[in-house]
Structure 1
Amino acid sequence: MKTLSIRRPDDWHLHLRDGGVLAGVIGDTSRHFGRAIIMPNLVPPVVTTEDAKAYRERIMAAVPAGDRFEPLMTLYLTEHTQADDVEEGKKSGLITAVKLYPAGATTNSHGGVRDLDKVMPVLERMAKIGLTLCVHGEVTTPEVDIFDREAVFIEEKLEVIRRRLPDLKVTMEHVTTKEGVDYILGADRNLAGSITTHHLIINRNDILVGGIRPHYYCLPVAKREHHRQALRKAATSGDARFFLGTDSAPHVDPLKECACGCAGIYTSINTMSCLAHVFEEENALERLEAFTSLNGPAWYGLPANDEMMTLEKREEAVVYPSKIDTEAGLITVFDPKFPLHWAVR
């Protein structure tokens, strides 16, 4: 196969940051993706509908002229979030989901949830009005090994939420383990999962073998190889419960290449090339459209994009910049460590 036409894809988990970084990275998303769910962990975070409205305006002002792109806004769940504000955001059409960060789980998550009981009234309202909860599925207790955080979260937190609120729709974002895949497959309803580009390609050896590789460090951290294989099987299966959420997370290089570097991998610019390569390796190119363009909209109750995208396989490798330059500084682009021959026409 030399060409592949699919519905225009969406990104169901994206970090755009703000200011100079936002201005520098937004075009890499808006060129290829029709919509994206925007993460709210700014400084300060997007905690109210008014915050989300203002952030959306900043995003739209940064979208390059001529690009058709719709940011889907989320709220950062805190123990002080007001259920009425969440409902008003949903009714207005502005808010697509609410994001649960366990406190301390990832970048700018210190204001997240420590006690689930304190956010249950908000979650109950969300279940009632049909608003999806997106979860960063990791516990943060120090006695739990970082490679076990997702599995423990499922057992100790997510199962509790789902038992108490069976009508609440939950997206397990950036699933990284076989346990996460199996948990989604075992659910009878109201549970789906997004999978990132980079977790389909790297495992924990890529971070640690031959020296510490900060540009492969992300949270949730990449796991053992058998977990990566489980993710590839799920993503390429066509199962409607799995869809693309790149978790593309730009940080300027000085914040990555330091004694306490930030978690995050920047993949927006080359995600479609990487995914076509992965799906071709798995003999599943005919299911790429489901993963990138169909399953996510169906889960969130939205129509698939009308526009089409054509990918073509070229003889010569596609060259992407190793870094992009923003007003805030240089950002390193994800290197899959193999040549990319699929390109968006």
Structure 2
Amino acid sequence: MVDEIVIDSPLDMHAHLRQDEMLRLVAPLTSRSWAGVMAMPNLSPIVDSPAAAVAYRAAILEAAKEGSDEPFEAYTTLYFQTHYTRDFLADAKPHILSIKFYPRGMTTNSSHGCDPADPGVYDVLASMEELGIPLSVHPEAEGYYHDREELFGKFVRDWVRRFPKLKVILEHLSDRHSVALLDLPNVHATITPQHLMTTGNDWFGPPFNPHLYCMPCVKRPEDRDALLQACFSDHPAKIMAGTDSAPHTEDRKVACGCAGVFSAPIAIQLYAQVFASAGKENMLQAFLSDNARRIYGITPPKRTVRLVREPFAIPSSYGNVIPMWAGGTLEWSIKA
């Protein structure tokens, strides 16, 4: 049994750091254990220009200083819009890591999203392919909530057929049917802790647990098992850590049912528990860092995170945000 795991420069390639007061809470909690994070652009207003991306990165890095003196990087994204021109994207490329596609109305702050069948989408994708800008996707289409990710697969297949050099990253993979999309040469994915560790019974109950409710929702045991198999044997080089850590205040989670699981401060330990339980500790470095470096072509800040097999009590809250499995105990702790 392995009792210590050392990770070089862990990267969270999908996280929601929010803005203003919530950013000031979340960014330090993130920078304490991660070397870098890719921040999503669904703010208010949305991040839809190079200037907005630069300003958001600066705000993240400033807030993150309160969490750690260790090196930390914030990678930013643009919110996909059909009016982006090639020249606009060329100007934006040095300041972003990807462009995030939100289907309209499918998740938090997605009212500015696009119809994936809109012909205008193709023009933007063609320019992204030419310029080598990756496409990050929230892969859900209109339909019964449990089937939305599977239903989006037809758009992914169409885009990959039309744009074979476009790098596509399926965010927060949750469905066993979507795993087959990783067979396509230019498709990659991020996976969250909750989708690897829980099933629909854990959030739907009884009793209902709003702090495990997210979009796409956690699904059947067969879906969880397919994701684990994809990580460990079927597609290990194509999958990265992406927590989709998405904080909401406790009142909004409980009263409004806002979608999002907050895991940023404990996510590395959660992933370690998944991999160690399967005897796959040797694959954790690639999942938490190496794959992202290769897929996105980045060199993160040098940083070492040491995990030891010691119980860690998850706080009941971080400020006014309730984390995943609040009050529970993890098998792994992070040591300085």
Give yes or no for TM over 0.5: yes
Partner Cα distance (1:103, 1:280) in 2: 38
CA contact under 8 A between 1:127 and 1:165: conserved in structure 2?
yes
Matches within 5 A, 1:48-63: 48-63=49-64
1:336–1:284 CA distance, 2 compared to 1 (3 A): farther
Partner Cα distance (1:59, 1:338) in 2: 29
| Matched residue, 1:148 | 147
Deviations 1:55-112 (A, max 9, x none): 112112211252421111100012233332221111xx21110000000010000110
| Matched residue, 2:65 | 64
- Give the drift of 1:306: 3.4
TM-score by length of 1: 0.92
- SS of 2:98's equivalent in the other structure is strand
- SS of 1:109's equivalent in the other structure is coil
Q: Is 1:78 aligned to 2:81, yes or no?
A: yes
CA contact under 8 A between 1:81 and 1:119: conserved in structure 2?
no
Matches within 5 A, 1:46-125: 46-65=47-66, 66-90=69-93, 93-114=94-115, 115-125=117-127
Which of 251, 263, 266 does residue 267 from structure 1 map onto?
263
Partner Cα distance (1:337, 1:252) in 2: 17
Q: Is 1:207 aligned to 2:198, yes or no?
A: no
CA contact under 8 A between 1:236 and 1:288: conserved in structure 2?
no
Partner Cα distance (1:305, 1:200) in 2: 27
| Matched residue, 1:342 | 332
CA contact under 8 A between 2:150 and 2:175: conserved in structure 1?
yes
- SS of 2:74's equivalent in the other structure is strand
Query: Aligned-residue CA RMSD in angstroms?
Result: 1.5
Deviations 1:13-54 (A, max 9, x none): 010000000000111211111111110000111011111111
Matches within 5 A, 1:231-246: 231-237=227-233, 239-246=236-243
Deviations 1:199-254 (A, max 9, x none): 11111111112132111110001111100011122223472101100000000011
Which of 307, 310, 318 does residue 312 from structure 2 map onto?
318
CA contact under 8 A between 2:275 and 2:281: conserved in structure 1?
yes
Deviations 1:244-280 (A, max 9, x none): 000000000111111x311000001111111111111
- Give the drift of 1:304: 5.7
Partner Cα distance (2:300, 2:17) in 1: 23
- Bigger CA drift: 61-70 or 271-280? 61-70
CA contact under 8 A between 2:314 and 2:327: conserved in structure 1?
no
Partner Cα distance (1:109, 1:152) in 2: 18
Which of 298, 319, 323 does residue 333 from structure 1 map onto?
323
The one-letter code sitting in structure 2 at the alignment partner of 1:94 is H
| Matched residue, 1:44 | 45
| Matched residue, 1:293 | 289
Identity %: 34
Partner Cα distance (2:328, 2:86) in 1: 47
Which of 157, 170, 173 does residue 172 from structure 1 map onto?
170
- Bigger CA drift: 22-31 or 237-246? 237-246
Stretches of structure 1 lacking an aligned partner (at least 5 in a row): none
The one-letter code sitting in structure 2 at the alignment partner of 1:251 is H
Partner Cα distance (1:340, 1:284) in 2: 17
- Give the drift of 1:339: 2.8
- Give the drift of 1:300: 0.3
The one-letter code sitting in structure 1 at the alignment partner of 2:242 is G
